[in-house]
Structure formats: structure tokens, C-alpha cells
Chain A
Amino acid sequence: MFGCRSLLKQIRKRKRRNPPKFNSKNRKQTPNLAEQDFATEDGFRLKGSSPSQNYGVQPLGNLYFTSSPHNSRNTGLGNIQTLTDELVLDILGFLGGTHLGILSTVSKSFYVFCNHEPLWRNLVLEDCDDGFLFKGSWKSTFVAACNSDFDVSKVGSLGFKVKDFYSDYLFQSWLCANLEMKHEWLERDNIIRRKGISVDEFVTDFEMPNKAVLLEGCLDNWPAMKKWDRDYLVKVCGDARFAVGPIEMKLNDFFIYTDQAQEERPLYLFDPKFANKVRKLGQDYEVPVYFNEDLFSVLGNERPDYRWIIIGPAGSGSSFHIDPNSTSAWNAVVKGSKKWVLFPPDVAPPGVYPSADGAKKPVECVCKAGEVIFVPNGWWHLVINLEDSIAITQNFVSRRNLLNVLDFLKKPNASTLVSGTRDRVNLHDKFKKAIEVSFPGTIDELTKKAEKKRAELEKPSFWDSVKDSNSGGFKFSF
């Protein structure tokens, strides 16, 4: 599918109306009408919670089965009907909320298009960088935020369904937001698990060979495991605002959103300064012993972002990526569970780059509360929260990947790739100097070891020298 929409979002600059005033009354959104029980032959089901509004949109294929093939999508768009759904939405993406609202009354087709939730989500996230109060849908949220007099329960209450509207893109968009994940996908679990191993074993068996592993039993002493639930966190965090996508918002407001969100990729809270904002949070956990070597700490306050709290509803998560600065990471689930799919550094995951070799299988697992996963540096990974989840993650540099990190930071385009710090260009030099001060001779020692290892690998084996007639080895001569 043509990916121009996300690109347009990056490059467009739009002027919006004045920031909205908030409606602080907590209005309940009437639940949407439940769809009929939907289960396909190959076992796809809708989620248990009532599905989001669909307005009667049908997939394009249905058009070919009707006796009178009329597509109200087209008649209602007029001269714009020649454009694809994505292009129509791209155009609508340039409009403010008021214009979208007015446009909704032009025709049934525009009504459906203008109700496309991602349009309203973008408007809310652009206008409300102070946070938002979610009102059941992004459209209602926006309307409530900008129009404190209007009775927001009216929005979406019509249950209006359009007949004869066929659109693959809009149907698929609704379907993806409401489809349940298949159990078989979740059950695939082939990661190596260990419990109670020593630090040396971890370093030798996993960190040095750069292998992923799931560790059990490391979080037993964390106060967070006993204390962290919604009420405790809301109390302890008070009015502190945390990073959620492009904005910052209070934790309680975030939970109000997660309670009601019905989308394919809900927002999640992901804040690198959580322990600065609320000291108690940092005190409720400690770094598992395996990951204690944290060399970026030599930079003190100038170190790049290194630890995050992640709070997200079912379905939230990140698509394939490699962690920044060539660091390794650990991710500990305090509450809930996460599905992980990982590919080693030399295997591009499907959909990331075109690759001749699509056959390699990834490492997969479900990481449950109390478990920690080690993500070795350079590994591609994708994570999805299977339920409301809370986790802590940290990125780190130990002696095992110190040289990799230094090499990465030295790269000519380091200033664009290096993340999590304001001082991108100098990070390499600063870090190297600081290591030499705190751990003199370490870099040299590691470099020597690495060179020795490389030389070992390059020496031809006995078989190689025998095979190669040029090296004066054995020859048949008749």
C-alpha cells in the first residue's frame, strides 16, 4: 500500500485554530451498537468488546455481488471519486475540525470519510499538546475540547448507516481496529528461558554471543511487583505529565483514554524522564543484576535517554525497529503481558526491506508479568501489548558492546542517527574520554582482544589450506 500518508504527516506544517479550552465534566459516551457475531471460515473473530462505528461500510468485493451495483462512495464524492481512498483522506487531512464537520453534511460519502477516526486523532494530537480528555472517540474528544457548550454525547449517537458504500481501505481500517489476534500467533514461543543463572553464565551464554533470552525470577524483589496497580500509580503520580506519543498528559487522563480506545494501534505512554518526574517510581524497581554494567553512566546527566516506563492498552506497541546507538536492552513486564518477535541483526524482517531471503524464522515469545527479556544489540524487534500492561525498559552499554557503540557513534551521519541526547555530534568524543577517565585502558584492552579474535577467524583452517592448491598444499598429480 502506498505509504504517502505517513510521509505527508511528517512534512506538512499546518496552521490550526487556537488551542481548545477543556470541558472538565466527565461525560459518558453511549456505547456503539454491537455488530452481529462475526467469525470467518479461517477463524478470524471480532474482539469481545463492542466494535467501533463502521457506518455500514462494506469491502469493495461486495459490490460485485449486488444486483444493482451502485457505490454511494462515488456519487457522493463527485469529481473527486477518481482519487483513491487514501488520497481523499490525505486531502481531508489538511482540513481543520470545523471544516471536517461541515463537510460531513455534504453527502453520505463525505459523512463516512469525515468520520474516519485517524483524522480526528491527528487533530487532537496536534492541537492538544497539554493532554486531552478522551470521550469515547477521537472525534468526540476533539469536539468536546473545542466546544465546551456542545453536548458531545450527540456525536456518533445517530448510529447512521450508509447503504451501498463500498471501500476496501475504509473497511480494512475498521476491521483492523476490531479484529482479534489469532491464538496460534500468540502461542508461538521459541525463546530460550533461564532462571537463577549467574551473571557469568548470562555474559558467556547470551551477552557475548549476542543471543536473546528470557529471564525468570529477577523481579521478585521489586516493590513495583506488589505495589503497582492503577490506583497506586495515579495517586503517586498526581499531576505529573508523561509523554504519550507527541504530547504529555496526566496519568489518570491517559487511563481514561485506554479504557475507551478502540483502534488498531492505540497510543501508549513512553516516558524517559519518569523517575525524574516522580521519584517514587524510580525507587520501586532496581536494575536486574545481569545488566548492572551501565557504561553510559560515566556521562552523568549528559547521558542519552536510557530508561522508560511503558504503559499501554492491548494492541499498543511498536513495529520493527533496532534500538538506538547500538545499545542492548532489557524489558521487564510488571503488569500484563507482551508478545515479542525478534530477528537477529543480519536478517531483515519481512516488510522492512525487500529481501531475497524471506524464509528465516524469528525468535518469538510472550513475556508475562515478572519476566524480563534481554534484547541484544542490533536485533530487530516488534512488541505488542496483549493486555493492559506496565513495563520498565532500559538500554545499556557494557564492555561486551562498548566497541560497537563507539563505532556507531563515530559514523559520519551520527548526528542524525544518534538519539536520546541533545548533544549528538560530540557524544562519541565525550563518551570515549569519560570511559578513559573512569576505566583507563579498557578500550585498548577490548580493541586488542577483538583484533586477536579477528585474526583467529581469518587464519585459513587446515582444510582450507589443503583445498587451495595455490598455498602449496597437497595436489593430485598423475
Chain B
Amino acid sequence: MSQTVVLEQNAVETQSITLKFDGCSSDANPSPIVNPENQSITIKFDDQASNHHTIPVSIPNVDSETEAAVNEFLRKHGSSDEESVRTDAMNDLWSFIERQEIGTVVVLVKFASDVKNFELLEIFCQRVADVIAKKTVEEVREIFNIANDFTPEEEQAIRDEHRWAFED
């Protein structure tokens, strides 16, 4: 069971902290996650059982279809120790992610890191890497909205330094 304790800092003058308990307590060791945007500190109580996610997680900044796909993975992956079931879950999630926009995957990377789910993190990081690997320099700049900040001379020098990579 994964419970969340949310500490919220209210009025600046008093700087007091309110504890909200979001469920029953557990005595596993919590680790806080700081969110500077809404000035909250979240402590998730994770015990062994929580790794077999039966409770759907909520993922900020993604659409409901994506959230559902990730939760389906967590449910299926956590439901069995059998290699084949877990591989199926990974393949399903992988197929889904391949159809998503890169922006969504970047959000998912951050999410997986925040909740410390290493399987998810690997899948999402691998996907971003795969997207990058297939692209030319110009295409990378376009898809990630990157302004080329090299001067023409600098760019030439750096391309020259990396000529070995372009020759393949």
C-alpha cells in the first residue's frame, strides 16, 4: 500500500507546515520528494507490497490514455513473477510509448524518476534515446526546439572534431 503524506507550506509570514495524512500509516522508511512549484514536500510510504501496484498512480501532465497505459503496465508487471508476463507488459508499454509524442515521454521520464520506478525509467529513457539516435542534427534541433547557439566557425570546428562520427 503506498500512502502519501503531503506537507504544505502555507502563509509566508508564519511559515508553518501542515501535515495531511492520506490514508493509514505504515512504518516503512519514507523518503521525501520536494516539489518547488507548489511548495510541497511529499513523503511516500513504500513498503514491499507497494511494488505490486494495485492502486493506480496519478501522473501529472499526461493525458488519461497515457496514464492508463502506464498503470496497466504497473498492474501487469507487478501481478506476476513470471518472466513471460513481465516481458509482455514491457512490450505492450513499449508499443504504446512508440506512438506518443516525445514531449509526453520526457514528462514520463521525470515521473519515473520521481517515483523511483527503475523499470519505467529504463523504458522511457531508452525511448528518448531511440528517438534521438534516428535523427540528423537538424532534426534533433527541431524536435526538441533547440536553437543552434554555435557561431558558424564554432560549428565547423566542432563538426571537424567529430568527423569520425559523421563518416559512418
| A→B interface (CB under 8 Å) | 2, 4, 7-8, 11-12, 72, 75-80, 82-84, 87, 90-111, 143, 146-147, 150, 154-155, 157-158, 160, 354
B132 within 8 A of A: yes
In B56-97, the 8 Å CB interface with A consists of none
Q: Which of A2, A76, A84 contacts B149 (CB 8 A)?
A: A76
Using CB atoms, name the residue of chain B closest to A86.
Answer: B113
**In the complex, what's the smallest C-beta–C-beta distance from A157 to chain B, in angstroms?**
8
B43 within 8 A of A: no
Q: Which of B125, B148, B159 contacts A94 (CB 8 A)?
A: B125
Contacts of A354 in B (CB 8 A): 29
Apart from A96-B133, A101-B162, A103-B137, what are 10 other A-B pairs with CB-CB below 8 Å?
A79-B106, A79-B144, A90-B125, A103-B140, A105-B150, A108-B149, A109-B149, A147-B167, A150-B164, A158-B161
Q: Which of A4, A95, A105 has the most CB of B within 10 A?
A: A105
**In the complex, what's the smallest C-beta–C-beta distance from B116 to chain A, in angstroms?**
7
B28 within 8 A of A: no
Contacts of B140 in A (CB 8 A): 103, 106
Using CB atoms, name the residue of chain A closest to B166.
Answer: A102
Are A91 and B147 closer than 8 Å at their CB atoms? no
Using CB atoms, name the residue of chain B closest to A164.
Answer: B149
Contacts of A157 in B (CB 8 A): 161
A-B interface contact total, Cβ < 8 Å: 129
**In the complex, what's the smallest C-beta–C-beta distance from A120 to chain B, in angstroms?**
12
**In the complex, what's the smallest C-beta–C-beta distance from B166 to chain A, in angstroms?**
7
Q: Which of A92, A98, A107 contacts B148 (CB 8 A)?
A: A107
Using CB atoms, name the residue of chain A closest to B168.
Answer: A98
Contacts of A111 in B (CB 8 A): 158
Closest 3 CB pairs of A and B: A101-B165, A94-B129, A78-B144
Are A87 and B164 closer than 8 Å at their CB atoms? no
Contacts of B168 in A (CB 8 A): 98
Instruction: Give Cα A189 to B150, complex, Å.
Output: 52
Are B121 and A4 closer than 8 Å at their CB atoms? yes
Q: Which of B29, B148, B150, B165 contacts A102 (CB 8 A)?
A: B165
